[in-house]
């Protein structure tokens, strides 16, 4: 039976040559992670079950990134639970404040994930790591507890959909626009419990940061995982990040779907004339071209998150805002996704550009993305954000409104005070 890359990874982790979509398997996990919202419940379940020793202290990652720096007593209590558990079990990959970053930007940067891996996380955007040729998916806190205890988890093998992109990007268009366009075409349940495999000439030339953005948002189409076959761009990235582990990962750089592998559907699009895409309230699938939304005024613009808080995103935004000012009615909030990104942006003068323009720069946090802190919306307020969800009440009041875009659109909109094509600001 011909296998997709997703099937091959799952088969390898349950000791088989092949697996069939729809069947249930038990598979060994390479890495599991939890954050300050999800891991405390996992820890509670472990302790309730009387588990005295975790499966592997080097293959568990605890990343307190959602309500941190601690916004209140409850968040402080959750983070204390993580810290105490990490100390008790000598968890290698526990990231305290000062070392922490937004988890799905931090783990790839730290070289903790690579091609062929099977990763689960108690966070829906764990699918991000498919950009590196891994099978990664989000699960619940009790699933995380089981993996922390045993190193194994059950899976239903997903069917696959292939997405082929050809053509050339227009100016200011990138991976965020590709995935918004895709979700707009198939809907928020168009890939329900399926593997979304991104391929074609455009993907082969897509930088890793953009690939991570695309895989990150596979869940917004209902996908079980989003995955891209490893190639030279993958190799160059993991060579920089994985250090001594590169040799082990390099064996999986040839992982590919078989030519005659079966797909539920194959979508093919030419994106040559695509303009920047914007998801309108209150669904990631309510997607329109930016030029049709220029009458929408905004109160807040957020650049950051596990979707678009990487150094390339900040460079794009700083390029547009340099020498300009944020509209006096708008709050611009910029959040580098990790400490390393923060330092690099500071070194390049990007943070100064944002502050000189009237923006604010936050320490790495998920904060406003989930309506946690550091950028909550009031009733009736409108935000444009580089985040991944815009459901009712996602960033604050249930009668607020969130539009999703790439960093160029988000920063151009902050300057104009309304949703704006970047060419209006920086031709």
What angle do helix axes 73-89 and 39-48 make, rounded to 10 degrees? 50
Is 5-269's fold the same as 277-424's? Answer: yes
Separation between Cα atoms, residue 411 and residue 234, nearest integer Å: 29
Region of residue 35 (left: phi > 0; alpha: psi -120 to 50; beta: else) = beta
For residue range 375-422, what is the model confidence (pLDDT) as tens digits? 999 999 999 999 999 999 999 999 999 999 999 999 999 999 999 999
Query: How far out from the chain centre does Cα 65 lie?
Result: 13
Helix (H) or strand (E) holding 154: strand 152-156
Sign of CA dihedral 387, 389, 392, 395: negative
For residue range 225-280, what is the model confidence (pLDDT) as tens digits? 999 999 999 999 999 999 999 999 999 999 999 999 999 999 999 999 999 999 99
Percent of the chain whose pLDDT exceeds 90? 99
Return the structure tokens found at 257.
Answer: 């779907």
Mean pLDDT computed over 136-151: 97
Separation between Cα atoms, residue 184 and residue 271, nearest integer Å: 14
Give the pLDDT band (50/70/90) at residue 426. Answer: confident
Asked if 161 and 266 touch (Cβ cutoff 8 Å), the reply is yes
The second-level CATH assignment, the architecture, of 5-269 is 2-Layer Sandwich (3.30)
pLDDT higher than 90, residue 427? no
Look at residue 126 in the predicted model and tell me its pLDDT: 98
Look at residue 5 in the predicted model and tell me its pLDDT: 98
What is the domain partition of the chain in residue ranges?
5-269, 277-424
Return the structure tokens found at 203.
Answer: 């993907």
| Mean pLDDT value across the chain | 97
| CATH code assigned to 277-424 | 3.30.499.10
For residue range 85-110, what is the model confidence (pLDDT) as tens digits? 999 999 999 999 999 999 999 999 99
Mean pLDDT computed over 200-223: 98
Asked if 392 and 398 touch (Cβ cutoff 8 Å), the reply is yes
Mean pLDDT computed over 169-196: 97
For residue range 35-68, what is the model confidence (pLDDT) as tens digits? 999 999 999 999 999 999 999 999 999 999 999 9
Separation between Cα atoms, residue 114 and residue 230, nearest integer Å: 9
Look at residue 81 in the predicted model and tell me its pLDDT: 98
For residue range 171-182, what is the model confidence (pLDDT) as tens digits? 999 999 999 999
Give the pLDDT band (50/70/90) at residue 1. Answer: confident
Question: Is the whole model's pTM more than 0.75, yes or no?
Answer: yes
Look at residue 318 in the predicted model and tell me its pLDDT: 98
């Amino acid at each position: 039976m011909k296998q997709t890359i997703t099937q091959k990874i799952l088969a390898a982790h349950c000791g088989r040559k092949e697996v069939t979509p729809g069947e249930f398997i038990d598979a060994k996990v390479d890495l599991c992670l939890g954050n300050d919202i999800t891991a405390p419940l996992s820890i509670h379940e472990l302790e309730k079950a009387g588990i005295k020793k975790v499966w592997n202290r080097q293959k568990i990652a605890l990343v307190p990134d959602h309500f941190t720096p601690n916004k209140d007593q409850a968040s402080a209590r959750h983070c204390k639970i993580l810290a105490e558990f990490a100390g008790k079990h000598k968890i290698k990959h526990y990231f305290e404040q000062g070392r922490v970053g937004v988890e799905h930007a931090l783990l790839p940067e730290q070289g903790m994930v690579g091609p062929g891996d099977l990763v689960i996380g108690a966070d829906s955007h764990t699918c991000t790591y498919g950009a590196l040729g891994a099978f990664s998916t989000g699960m619940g806190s009790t699933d995380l507890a089981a993996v922390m205890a045993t190193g194994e988890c059950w899976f239903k093998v997903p069917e696959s959909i292939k997405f082929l992109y050809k053509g050339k990007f227009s100016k200011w268009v990138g991976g965020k626009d590709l995935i918004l366009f895709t979700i707009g075409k198939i809907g928020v349940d168009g890939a329900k419990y399926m593997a979304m495999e991104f391929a074609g000439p455009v993907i082969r030339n897509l930088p890793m940061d953009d690939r991570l953005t695309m895989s990150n948002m596979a869940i917004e189409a209902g996908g079980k995982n989003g995955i891209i076959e490893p190639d030279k761009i993958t190799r160059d990235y993991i060579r920089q990040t994985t250090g001594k582990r590169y040799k082990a990962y390099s064996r999986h750089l040839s992982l590919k779907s078989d030519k005659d592998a079966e797909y539920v559907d194959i979508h093919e699009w030419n994106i040559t004339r695509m303009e920047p895409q914007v998801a309108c309230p209150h669904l990631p699938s309510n997607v329109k071209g930016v030029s049709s939304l220029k009458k929408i005024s905004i109160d807040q613009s957020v650049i950051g998150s596990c979707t678009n808080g990487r150094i390339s995103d900040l460079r794009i935004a700083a390029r547009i805002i340099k020498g300009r000012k944020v509209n006096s009615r708008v709050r611009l909030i910029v959040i580098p996704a990790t400490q390393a990104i923060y330092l690099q942006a500071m070194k390049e003068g990007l943070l100064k550009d944002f502050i000189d323009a009237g923006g604010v720069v936050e320490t790495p946090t998920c904060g406003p993305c989930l309506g946690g802190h550091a950028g909550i919306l009031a009733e009736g307020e409108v935000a444009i954000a580089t985040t991944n969800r815009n459901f009712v009440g996602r960033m604050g009041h249930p009668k607020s409104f969130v539009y999703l875009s790439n960093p160029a659109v988000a920063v151009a909109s902050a300057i104009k005070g309304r949703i704006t094509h970047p060419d209006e600001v920086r031709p």
